[in-house]
Amino acid sequence: MYRITRKKELNPTVTLMDIEAPAVAKKAQPGQFIILRTDEYGERIPLTIADYDREKGTVTIIFQIVGGTTEKLGHMNEGDCLQDFAGPLGNPTETEGLRKVAVVGGGVGCAIAFPVAKKLHEMGCEVHSIVGFRNKDLVILEDEFRSASDVLKMMTDDGSYGEKGLVTNALKALIDSGEKYDEVIAIGPVIMMKFVAAVTKEYGIKTVVSMNPIMIDGTGMCGGCRLTVGGETKFACVDGPDFDGHLVDFDEAMTRSAMYKPFERAKHEETCKLFSQEVK
């Protein structure tokens, strides 16, 4: 059993948890993920590792409530235990040799972008972080990004915090001002990564994207995270989750990802009703 040692609500739908899992914390690297089950009868879901503390033996996960399992997870508290917490899985983000990088995060994807920015910063790499949210109420991890970045651009769609505009606006402005990046690492909604890759392709800047948003099973068996990269079939969970953003067929990936949204909504509503009945 894996004990929850800390729980913190980052915004109305996004929650941070530290999980006691020494074996996972010992080997975890930025870009990797775990698979958890809340209870004996729960479904298996993949969540990317947001941080880890090898000394305390804890792994940090950050999740958004979208389906039945994340709804259940949101009702758990410090001291409660998860049934399963397997990992680390997937390939770590490659950071060796990078001297100047733009890390672009969108929404809850910032939880995955942060450990990458943190590791690069600790390696002595110059890190320019660009993080975007729909509005001020949805902003997460601002202090954490600020501590791991030489430059931080906070963007909101409506201008309620930071600068108004999209992350692509800020990235293009930095490049046009003369900033030269060894690499751009983009993590967030698939459509955001698609447009980041479109911008960087114009400038010939290597771009890595994390295709974790389309993962389901996490072992390559279900085929749900199948995608086309450079004309070849890949699986996000076993071949990635990081891929060359200029080679990913984003339209195919978005179509595949959308197939599961009705099921997620139905399971979320079903789980909410169960918890409502328990309260009554």
2-89 classified as CATH 2.40.30.10: yes
* 268 has a pLDDT exceeding 70: no
pTM: 0.85
**Cβ atoms 224, 256 nearer than 8 A:** yes
Tell me which fold the domain 100-258 belongs to. Answer: Rossmann fold (3.40.50)
The DSSP 8-state label assigned to residue 42 in this structure reads P
The whole-number pLDDT of residue 262 equals 57
**pLDDT tens per residue, range 24-77:** 999 999 989 999 999 998 888 888 899 999 999 999 999 988 877 888 999 999
Q: How far apart are CA 225 and CA 219, in angstroms?
A: 10
Structure tokens at 133: 């949210």
**pLDDT tens per residue, range 178-223:** 999 999 999 999 999 999 999 999 999 999 998 876 556 556 666 6
Q: How far apart are CA 140 and CA 144, in angstroms?
A: 9
Q: Return the domain boundaries, the chain.
A: 2-89, 100-258
Strand segments, DSSP code E, in the chain are 2-11, 14-20, 33-37, 45-53, 58-64, 81-82, 84-89, 100-106, 126-133, 151-156, 163-164, 183-187, 207-210, 226-229, 232-235, 242-244
